[in-house]
Amino acid sequence: MPFEHPLILGFDTSAAHCAAALLSGDRIVSVTVEQMATGQAERLMVLLGDLLSAANVGWSDLNAIGVGTGPGNFTGIRISVSAARGLSLGLGIPAVGVSSFEASVYNAKLPVTALVPAPRDQVYRQDFTSIGKQAPLVQPRHTALTEAGTFGHTVVDLPVPDQLVCNIARLAAQTWQDETSPPAPLYVRAADAAPPRDAPPVMLDL
């Protein structure tokens, strides 16, 4: 293997992009981003293969995978997480799930509030403090900003895709040797459909 340190492949399709980065030690070897609203499923594996080829390494040279788990586009998240799980199984290496919140606050000073764009002028929000991270929620952006200011938190927005995917790789590099659970999508937004107000019909045994 042409690199002295472990090789970590990070990728993300949680928004309108297909992004990947290759990390060795503290150095980003290569990063690539393609903007796309659809088509990530067809493009992702080709993009990853091209990234590895450009760095003169193969799949077998990888030590671990880092994948963005959202929140974000439901379909995009499933694409990346499924790919990461498949690669992990096929290559026999760990796959580490990294949320967009965690990637956003990488190296940020606590306390900090991470905001990720959500539909209908809302944001996904997660607070990070010295005692840990709070459960994520979805709310109007102005509400999130007001509450973060009240708490004295610095507000961090979602980084641009190349920075986001590099942070995913960096965070995966910190934990891959201890990772035991497969990555899973992080879904925060409540379901669009409200439960019915009327009670369901009673089923009678005849």
What length is written for the chain?
A: 206
In sequence order, the 6+-apart residues with CB closer than 8 A to the CB of 85 are 95, 182, 183
pTM over 0.75: yes
Q: Is 197 among the domain residues?
A: no
Asked if the structure places residue 44 within a domain, the reply is yes
Domain count, the chain: 1
Q: Within a domain: residue 187?
A: no
**How far is Cα 157 from Cα 160, in angstroms, rounded to an integer?**
9
pLDDT in tens, 172-196: 999 999 988 999 999 996 544 344 4
Predicted local confidence at residue 189, as pLDDT: 61
CATH of the domain at 161: 3.30.420.40
Which residue range(s) make up the domain with 40?
7-178
Within-domain flag for 200: no
Q: Residue 106: CA atoms inside 13 Å, Cβ hemisphere, count?
A: 19
